[in-house]
Amino acid sequence: MGRLAFRLLPYALGYALSYLLRSANAVLAGPLAGDLGLSPAALGSLTASFYLAFALAQLPLGWLLDRYGPRRVLFPLLFVAGLGSLLFALGLGFALLLIGRALMGAGVALALVGAVRAYQLHIPAHMGALSGFTVALGGLGGLLATSPMAYVTEGVGWQGAFLLLALLAFVLAFVGLCTVPRDPPSAKNRPGVVPGGVLRGFIPLSVDKEDSPGVASWGLVSLSLVAFAYIGGFFAVQSLWAGAYAYEVGLDARLVGLWLLILNAASVVGGVLAGILAGHCGTKCSLLLGIAFFTAGLFRSCKDLCVRVRV
């Protein structure tokens, strides 16, 4: 497995780049607002354009992934992400900034799903281990978007930082196309097959075989709503508003980077602890406890900000 797994490393690095691009705006919120005169609403729109393109790209790009395989889809998409970073770095008006962030979102939309699909095709026996490694490497990408990004921005500015991200995306796309093994014939002209047992390992499904075959239970719907509010809320805080809040309360770029580093490191540790807790008391208990901690942190931050506004 060793040599083949190493040749598949660009897939994991692609997900790390996805995490890095997603989270970069948080530590750059202050410089972006200062240099371009962006309001909080404009900053929010830039981040929203990334996630909107990311979401809208899932179905059409997912079809391409099934049709042509991960190698021929993911790495060309990284060129799209690099182009988006390049457009953003040019900073030639708010419209181009929006387009740049949208291209970044679309370019990394399949980073994790495509990587898992590649592992399923090439090393199915080790798909779980490789998927876990990829998620961990994604967490490292999130950490790079904190203090390291703040130091880079101090040296070359936010435009230079995005130019470096564009270069990184282009290089990774080129390396992936040149070194990653070609997908087996089964990856083409045939949709990916996920056994029901695998799906049930992630989401509890119940299907009415007589009336509505293939329709997920209300448990899946409720879980989707939780994901929308909880995970979506965390992504909003992590990828923009935590940094914007830190600048608002007077922290400089290095302290903002350090604060975001703590936030991202805590999310990595929390993921590990949540998995352990789920094994002992169940997924629902672990999820509810995580939501409680997240909500308490938000209320605490809001309370501090309200005190500062009154003063």
Q: Are 115 and 134 in contact (CB under 8 A)?
A: yes
202: which 2 tokens? Answer: 């992630």
Q: How high is the pLDDT of residue 15? A: 93
Which pTM does this prediction carry?
Answer: 0.75
**Domain, as residue range, for 281:** 2-188+218-310
Helix, strand, coil % in the chain, rounded to nearest 5: 85, 0, 15
In a domain, 250, yes or no: yes
Q: Left (φ > 0), alpha (ψ -120 to 50) or beta: where does 207 sit?
A: beta
> Is the CB of residue 20 less than 8 Å from the CB of residue 165?
yes
185-194, 196-205, 248-257 — most confident range: 248-257
**What is residue 186's predicted lDDT score, i.e. its pLDDT?**
59
pLDDT tens profile 271-296? 667 767 777 787 778 778 878 887 88
Assign residue 182 the CATH number of its domain: 1.20.1250.20
Total domains in the chain come to 1
Between the two ends of the chain, the Cα-to-Cα distance in Å is 61
Return d(Cα 211, Cα 221) in angstroms, integer.
18
- 298 falls within a domain: yes
Q: Kindly state the average pLDDT of the residues 295-310.
A: 63
Residue 142 lies in a domain: yes
Residue 92: DSSP 8-state: -
DSSP string of 126-187?
A: GHHHHHHHHHHHHHHHHHHTTHHHHHHHHHHHHHHHHHHHHHHHHHHHHHHHHHSPPPPGGG
Query: What is the gyration radius of the CA atoms in the chain, in angstroms?
Result: 20
Is the pLDDT at 193 greater than 60? The verdict is no
Nearest to 12 by CA among 101, 123, 139, 107: 139
Residue 197, pLDDT > 50, answer: no
For residue 205, the SS3 value is coil
What would the pLDDT profile of 25-37 be if each residue is shown by its tens digit?
Answer: 888 888 888 888 8
Do the domain assignments include residue 197? no
Has residue 10 been placed in a domain?
yes
Q: Residue 242 falls within a domain, yes or no?
A: yes
User: Does 49 have pLDDT greater than 80?
Assistant: yes
Give the tens place of pLDDT for each residue, 56-106: 998 899 899 989 999 999 999 999 999 999 999 998 889 999 999 999 999
* Contact (Cβ atoms closer than 8 angstroms) between residue 141 and residue 115: no
Query: Quick check: 180 and 73 in contact, CB under 8 A?
Result: no
> Could you tell me if 103 and 84 are in contact, meaning their C-beta atoms sit under 8 angstroms apart?
yes
Q: Looking at residue 195, what is its pLDDT?
A: 41
At residue 302, the pLDDT reads 67
Q: Is residue 212 part of a domain?
A: no
Each residue's pLDDT tens digit, 98-128: 999 999 999 999 999 999 899 989 888 887 7
Q: What is the pLDDT of residues 129-183, one digit of tens each?
A: 788 788 878 888 888 888 888 889 888 999 999 999 999 999 999 999 999 999 8
pLDDT at 282: 77
CA distance 186 to 206: 29
DSSP 3-state assignment of 249?
A: coil
User: For 201-244, what is each residue's pLDDT tens digit?
Assistant: 344 444 444 445 444 556 667 667 777 776 777 777 766 667 77
Q: Does residue 31 fall inside a structural domain?
A: yes
